[in-house]
Amino acid sequence: MNEKVAFLLNQQINKEFYSAYLYLDMANYYDEQDLDGYANYYMVQAQEERDHALLFLKYMQINGLKVTLDAIDKPDKVFTSLLDPLEMAAEHERYVTALINDIYHEAHQAKDYRTMKFLDWFVDEQMEEEDNADTMISRYKLFGQDPKGLYLLDQEYAARVYAAPSLVL
């Protein structure tokens, strides 16, 4: 495998673990606000990100590549309103999309079609993640300022359950 592609894949493992930490931090924030549904939503999101990291790890192992796990940075976001985590999550998902696109670009340059095929699932996943994040912001802005609306949104997010990624390696 191309050295740069392998390096970026390895970096992505650590970036996905950071994403899990970030979403755990958001879950903690909402838990402190007694918004158990929002806390649940981001707890599930953290599980997804951890599994994304493990998918990248497994892909590297299957391809005989050395995996290097780095220290995971502490999330540095400060939340001062209920909207802050939602907006920061949307920003973070756009960042992750850019990371996936960079790996895809390098794989394409290297004619690494196997990695491109592997990344196709993540390209689709990121489209869904960005849409979900944007929808949560829109719905909060529409309904979240009203206590009854916020309560109903919180109840909806409380019903979210974890579904393991459908990507098979």
Name the residue type at position 133.
A
Query: Does the pLDDT at position 166 exceed 80?
Result: no
Residue 72: is it exposed, middle or buried by C-beta count within 10 angstroms (0-12/13-18/19+)?
A: middle
What residue ranges do the domains of the chain occupy?
3-158
Span 3-158: which CATH code? Answer: 1.20.1260.10
Return the half-sphere exposure (C-beta side, CA atoms, 13 A cut-off) of residue 117.
6
CA-CA distance, 73 to 107, in Å (whole number)?
Answer: 27
Q: The tokens of 4 are what?
A: 């740069």
Residue 161: is it exposed, middle or buried by C-beta count within 10 angstroms (0-12/13-18/19+)?
A: exposed
Query: Does the pLDDT at position 168 exceed 90?
Result: no
Report the pLDDT value the prediction gives residue 164, as an integer from 0 to 100: 84
Q: The tokens of 40 are what?
A: 């649940």
The mean pLDDT value for 37-59 works out to 97
pLDDT digits (tens, 9 = 90+) for 82-127: 999 999 999 999 999 999 999 999 999 999 999 999 999 999 999 9
What pTM does this model have?
A: 0.94
Query: Does the pLDDT at position 157 exceed 80?
Result: yes
Report the pLDDT value the prediction gives residue 169, as an integer from 0 to 100: 72
Strand, helix or coil for residue 79? coil
Name the residue type at position 144.
G
